[in-house]
C-alpha cells in the first residue's frame, strides 16, 4: 500500500470509498511493545497517529517510538489544543503549543484540532478566538490542516461548521450504539451536509463493544465464528459515508492485528448484517440498567415531549462505563423542556412501553446522575 497523503484524509463526497485505520495514541502499552506495534502499523500501509496534550505521556512516547525512529514523511501526526487550559490568550495557547512541539520533537503538526468542543465552552472558545489562533499557526507553516473534535449537540455542530469555514475536518464519536441510539448519526449527517470529511473516534465505545452480553455475542459468533466481536464495530464505522479515518485506541499487538485484518478487503455491512446488529442492540438493552429498546412509542404520547429514549440511552451508557463528563455534556444538548428534569410524572407514557418500564421513575434516576 502506498503511503497515505494528508489530502486523502480531506477528501469528501464521492472521493471516499472507505476509511483507513488510524492509531489512537491514548491507550498504548510500554514503549517496547508500542514501538513494535507502530512498526507493524506502518508496514501495513497506515500512517495516521492521533495524540493530545492531555493524553498523559502520549506525546513523549510517540517521540521515542515513532518520530525518532522513522522519517518524517512516513507518518502523519494529529495533536489537540485543550480550550479548558486556556485562561490567558494568546500566551497560554503559545505555551501549550510550544510544549507540544517539544514533547513530540516535531517542527509542525499535520493535523491540529481544538479539543472536545461542546456548548459549555462555546462562548469561551469564541471570545478567546481559538479558531483564529490555530489558523495563524497554519499561516506560519506550523499546522498543515485545521479541525476540531466534538462532544456536543447537533445544533452546536452546525453553528461551528457554518461560522468557521476554515474547518477542514472534524473528529466525531461514531459507533453502532451511539449512531442507532444516540446523537452520533446526526453528527455525521451534519458533517456530510457541509461537505466536511470526518474522522471517527470511539468505534468500539471505549472497549465496551469488544465484550458484549453473552446472548449478543452468541448472535455474532453464530453468524461468523471466525470474526472477533470488536471487528463488527470497526467495520460498521469504517464504511460509514463520509468517514476518512477510524481511530482505534489499540493497547496490544493482538488488537492491532485484528484491526488490520478487518480493514483488509473492507466492505460495508450487508442489510442482513445490519439487521443482526439491531438484534445485538436489543440484547444489550435487556441487560442495561434501563431496558429501553429505543422504540420511542412513549414519545408519541408524552404531553411534555420529553426525549425519553435519548435520556435512557445516555444513562445506560454511563452505567456501562462511559465517561460521566461526556454523557453529562450530551444530556445538556437535549433542548430545554425535553430533558428528564422536565417530566411531570403524569404517567401517560406507561401504557405505551412494550418493555413495561416505569418511565417516570427511571427518568428520576437520569436526573440524579445527569441532570
**Residue 78 and residue 10: Cα distance in Å, rounded?**
13
Can you say whether the dihedral through the CA atoms of 323, 290, 155, 278 is positive or negative?
positive
HSE, CB side, 13 Å, CA atoms: give it for residue 214.
0
8 A C-beta contact, residue 338 and residue 284: no
pTM for the model: 0.84
Compute the radius of gyration of the chain from its Cα atoms.
21
Q: What is the mean pLDDT of the chain?
A: 92
SS3 for 253-322 is: HHHHHHHHHHHCCCCCCCHHHHHHHHHHHHHHHHCCCCCCCCCCHHHHCCCCCCCHHHHHHHHHHHHCCC
The confidence score (pLDDT) of residue 16 equals 47
Q: How large is the greatest C-alpha to C-alpha distance in the chain, in angstroms?
A: 65
With pLDDT > 70 as the criterion, what percentage of the chain qualifies? 97
Alpha-carbon gap, residue 2 to 289, rounded angstroms? 47
Predicted confidence at residue 3, as pLDDT, reads: 67
111's enclosing H/E stretch is strand 109-117
Output DSSP code: residue 63: I
Residue pair 171/114 in contact (Cβ under 8 Å)? The answer is no
Q: Indicate the fold that domain 6-276 takes in CATH.
A: TIM Barrel (3.20.20)
pLDDT range class, residue 12, cuts 50, 70, 90: low
Task: Calculate the alpha carbon distances from 18 to 45, 176, 209, 367 in Å.
Answer: 15, 17, 21, 40
C-alpha cell belonging to residue 371 = 441532570
Average the pLDDT over each of 14-18, 151-155, 229-233 and give the range with the smallest value. Answer: 14-18
pLDDT tens-place string over residues 171-207: 999 999 999 988 899 999 999 999 999 999 999 987 8
CA distances for 55 relative to 75, 131, 306, 337, angstroms? 19, 22, 37, 36
Helix (H) / strand (E) element for 146: namely strand 143-150
Contact 367, 341 (CB under 8 A): yes
Question: Rounded CA gap, 65 and 172, in Å?
Answer: 27
Domain boundaries in the chain?
6-276, 288-370
Amino acid at each position: 500500500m502506498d503511503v497515505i497523503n494528508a489530502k486523502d484524509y480531506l477528501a469528501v463526497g464521492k472521493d471516499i470509498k472507505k476509511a483507513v485505520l488510524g492509531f489512537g495514541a491514548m491507550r498504548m502499552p510500554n514503549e517496547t511493545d508500542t514501538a513494535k506495534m507502530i512498526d507493524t502499523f506502518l508496514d501495513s500501509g497506515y500512517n495516521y497517529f492521533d495524540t493530545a496534550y492531555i493524553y498523559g505521556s502520549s506525546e513523549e512516547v510517540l517521540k521515542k517510538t515513532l518520530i525518532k525512529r522513522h522519517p518524517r514523511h512516513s507518518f502523519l501526526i494529529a495533536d489537540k489544543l485543550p480550550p479548558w487550559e486556556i485562561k490567558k490568550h494568546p500566551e497560554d495557547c503559545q505555551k501549550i503549543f510550544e510544549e507540544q512541539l517539544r514533547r513530540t520533537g516535531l517542527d509542525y503538526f499535520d493535523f491540529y484540532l481544538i479539543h472536545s468542543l461542546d456548548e459549555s465552552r462555546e462562548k469561551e472558545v469564541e471570545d478567546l478566538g481559538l479558531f483564529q489562533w490555530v489558523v495563524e499557526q497554519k499561516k506560519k507553516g506550523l499546522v498543515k490542516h485545521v479541525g476540531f473534535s466534538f462532544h456536543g449537540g447537533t445544533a452546536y455542530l452546525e453553528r461551528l461548521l457554518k461560522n468557521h469555514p476554515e474547518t477542514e475536518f472534524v473528529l466525531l464519536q461514531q459507533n453502532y450504539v451511539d449512531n442507532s441510539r444516540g446523537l452520533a448519526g446526526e453528527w455525521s449527517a451534519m458533517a456530510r451536509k457541509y461537505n466536511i470529511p470526518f474522522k471517527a473516534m470511539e468505534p468500539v465505545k471505549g472497549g465496551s463493544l469488544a465484550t458484549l452480553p453473552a446472548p449478543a455475542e452468541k448472535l455474532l459468533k453464530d453468524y461468523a465464528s471466525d470474526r472477533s466481536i470488536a471487528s463488527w464495530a470497526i467495520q460498521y464505522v469504517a464504511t460509514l459515508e463520509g468517514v476518512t479515518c477510524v481511530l482505534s485506541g489499540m493497547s496490544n499487538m493482538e488488537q492491532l492485528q485484528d484491526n488490520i485484518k478487518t480493514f483488509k478487503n473492507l466492505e460495508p455491512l450487508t442489510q442482513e448484517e445490519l439487521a443482526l446488529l439491531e438484534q445485538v442492540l436489543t440484547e444489550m438493552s435487556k441487560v442495561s440498567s434501563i431496558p429501553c429498546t429505543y422504540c420511542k412509542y412513549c414519545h408519541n404520547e408524552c404531553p411534555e415531549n420529553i426525549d425519553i429514549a435519548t435520556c435512557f440511552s445516555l444513562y445506560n451508557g454511563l452505567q456501562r462505563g462511559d465517561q460521566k463528563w461526556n454523557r453529562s455534556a450530551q444530556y445538556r444538548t437535549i433542548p430545554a423542556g425535553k430533558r428528564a428534569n422536565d417530566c411531570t410524572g403524569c404517567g401517560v407514557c406507561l401504557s405505551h412501553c412494550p418493555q413495561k418500564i416505569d418511565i417516570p421513575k427511571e427518568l428520576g434516576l437520569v436526573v440524579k446522575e445527569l441532570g
